[in-house]
Amino acid sequence: MRALSAALLGLAVAATPALAQTAHKYDPNAEVTITGVVVDYHESKAKGDHPGLHFILEIPGAPAEPAPAPEPPPSAPAADLAPEAADSQGAGEEASTPTPAETVEVHACPVKLLSQLDFPIEKGDEITVTGSRSGDVVIARVVKKGSAELQLRDAEGVPIWTGLP
C-alpha cells in the first residue's frame, strides 16, 4: 500500500509541469501592430498564465483582389477579334476569394488597472494593439481605442504595473 501511494504521488508530481500552462514571454523582436474588433473578453486567473484581462480580437481578412485580365495572344491584334471573343475576355476577371478573418488572444493587464485608468474594453470596440506575437497570442504593450492610448509595458515588455501599490 505504501509503495502504491509513493508511486501515485511520484506520477502526480511528474505530471504537474506537463499540465501547467506556461505564460508567453514578451519578445521585442516579435512585435506587431494589429487592428481589429473585440469579439470576446475574460479575466484569466490561471496559474502560470498572464493574469488579468484577455480579449479576443478579430482581425479582418484581406479584401479580395480582382484576378488579372487575360492578355490577348500576341499574334492576334485586339481589333481583329470577333465580337463574341472580345466579350468572353471579361469572364476571367472574377474576384479572388477574400482572406478569412483571423482571431488572436490579446493578453493585456490586470482588470483592476483598466478600471483605475478608466479604459474599459468591451465587445464591439475597435482596438489597435502593439505587442509581442507568438502564434495566436499577442502580449499587449500599447492599446489604442479611438483617440485614447494606454501604455501597458515598456519597450522590453516589462509591465508598467510592476511595483505599483
Integer Cα distance of 80 and 101 in angstroms: 45
The answer to whether position 126 is within a domain reads: yes
Nearest Cα neighbor of 127 from 36, 31, 33, 32 is: 36
Strands 137-145 and 102-107: parallel
Q: Please tell me the total count of domains within the chain.
A: 1
pLDDT 10s digits, 33-85: 999 999 999 988 877 777 789 999 999 886 655 656 566 666 655 555 444 54
Q: Which domain holds residue 113?
A: 23-63+96-151
pTM over 0.85: no
The answer to whether position 80 is within a domain reads: no
Tally of residues, the chain? 165
- Domain at 47, CATH number: 2.40.50.140
The answer to whether position 72 is within a domain reads: no
Integer Cα distance of 129 and 120 in angstroms: 15
pLDDT 10s digits, 147-164: 999 999 999 999 988 765
The answer to whether position 16 is within a domain reads: no
